[in-house]
């Protein structure tokens, strides 16, 4: 299994509070992604990173920011959590083309509840 961990695994917070989710990898892969998974929507990309300090927005980036100061860590921050951000958040990694066929490997997920 690819070495990807997410922390925390579960979190309950209140509306308006900031929340940071962490993704850590031990595979030295270049690309890292944050998705949210909601019933009826499948997986939706929030942000992704293509290197240290290099990030870009996905299709549902509003209300989220990310940072990647080291290859192994990719942080997702909800600046001011809202109930619509209650979801399961998955981190994923992938290597360059030719490295494992550029497939994505997923972390175990973080279940976030915003009250």
Partner 1 sequence: GDSVTQMEGPVTLSEEAFLTINCTYTATGYPSLFWYVQYPGEGLQLLLKATKADDKGSNKGFEATYRKETTSFHLEKGSVQVSDSAVYFCALTPNTGNQFYFGTGTSLTVIP
Using CB under 8 A as the criterion, which residues of the chain lie in contact with partner 1 when the complex forms? 31, 33, 40-43, 45, 48, 50, 90, 92, 94, 96-97, 101-109
Which CB atom, from 42 or from 62, has the smaller least distance to partner 1?
A: 42
> To the nearest whole angstrom, how small is the minimum distance from the Cβ of residue 14 to partner 1?
25
Least CB distance to partner 1 at residue 16 (A): 29
Q: How many residues does the chain have?
A: 115
**Distance of closest approach, residue 64 Cβ to partner 1, in angstroms:** 17
Cis geometry, peptide bond prior to residue 8 (ω within 30 degrees of 0): yes
Q: How far is the CB of 31 from partner 1 (least distance, A)?
A: 5
The answer to whether 15 touches 82, Cβ cutoff 8 Å, is: yes
Our CB check for partner 1 shows the closer of 14 and 96 to be 96
Q: Helix or strand or coil: residue 102? A: helix
SS3 category, 100: helix
Q: Residue 15 or residue 29: which is nearer to partner 1 going by CB?
A: 29
Q: Alpha-carbon distance 99 to 115, whole Å?
A: 41
Of residues 62 and 101, the one with the C-beta less far from partner 1: 101
Across 7-23, b (16+ Cβ under 10 Å) vs e yields eeeebebeeeeebebeb
């Amino acid at each position: 299994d690819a070495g990807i961990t997410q922390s925390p695994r579960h979190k309950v917070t209140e509306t308006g509070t900031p929340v940071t989710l962490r993704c850590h990898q031990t595979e030295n892969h270049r690309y890292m992604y944050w998705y949210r998974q909601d019933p009826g929507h499948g997986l939706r990309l929030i942000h992704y990173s293509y290197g240290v300090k290099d990030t870009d927005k996905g299709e549902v980036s509003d209300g989220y920011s990310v940072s990647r100061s080291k290859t192994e860590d990719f942080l997702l921050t909800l600046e001011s959590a809202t109930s619509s951000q209650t979801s399961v958040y998955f981190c994923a990694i992938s290597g360059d083309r030719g490295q494992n066929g550029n497939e994505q490997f997923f972390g175990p997920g973080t279940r976030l509840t915003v009250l």
